[in-house]
Amino acid sequence: MEEFSDFEELLTKSMPMLRTIASSFPERHREDLIQEGILGLHSAYSSFDPSIGVPFKTYIRICVKNSMLTAYKKLRKDDLSETFDETAFVDNTSSLEDGVISRNDAETFFSGFKKSLSLLERNVLSEYLKDKSYDEIAETLKISVKAVDNALMRIKKKVRNFIRK
């Protein structure tokens, strides 16, 4: 850590690494992830303990990757939650009748959409909407975290396709 006189110098020298790590994520999230990476870099800079026996550059790279991965998972979860936000399908109208019609349309949409999901996808979605983490969902349903991730990706794709119909 002594090779950097201050955080600003470390940040300047670390920007290429931040961009490289962020480039492994979808483009639309990269700027947000770089910002999260900067926060992770600062945290690593502040908390580094040479006695743990890990080289400083390795430590900051791990911290930056972890902060970006955590932020990316939250961004993906937010994306999916927005997709399922029922209020997006209900008009804010002054007429009670219009509101009831819109609510009925939303209910029709969701009941039709649910029929397009497999049993596993319905179960994963149900747990996900209870704000459970991938690990918690996997444990509850006795499946792998990767299976949870794959199911959520299929659900998101089905939502997009269903909305386009």
75 vs 77: CA distance, rounded Å: 5
Q: Tokens representing 38?
A: 């900067």
Q: Tokens representing 128?
A: 């996900």
Q: What 3-state DSSP class applies to 146?
A: helix
Could you give the maximum distance between any two Cα atoms of the chain, in Å? 69
Looking at residue 54, its pLDDT comes to: 84
Looking at residue 80, its pLDDT comes to: 65
What is the residue whose two structure tokens read 């002054």?
94
Looking at residue 49, its pLDDT comes to: 86
Looking at residue 4, its pLDDT comes to: 56
Looking at residue 104, its pLDDT comes to: 58
Q: Please report, in angstroms and rounded to a whole number, the separation of the first and last CA atoms in the chain.
A: 56
Looking at residue 2, its pLDDT comes to: 46
**Nearest 10 degrees: CA dihedral of 95, 81, 158, 34?**
130
134 vs 6: CA distance, rounded Å: 37
Q: What are the start-end ranges of the E strands in the chain?
A: none
Q: Delineate the domains of the chain, giving CATH numbers in brackets.
A: 7-76 (1.10.1740.10), 81-164 (1.10.10.10)
Looking at residue 100, its pLDDT comes to: 47
Q: What 3-state DSSP class applies to 138?
A: helix
**Ranges of residues in the chain whose predicted pLDDT is under 50:** 1-2, 86-101
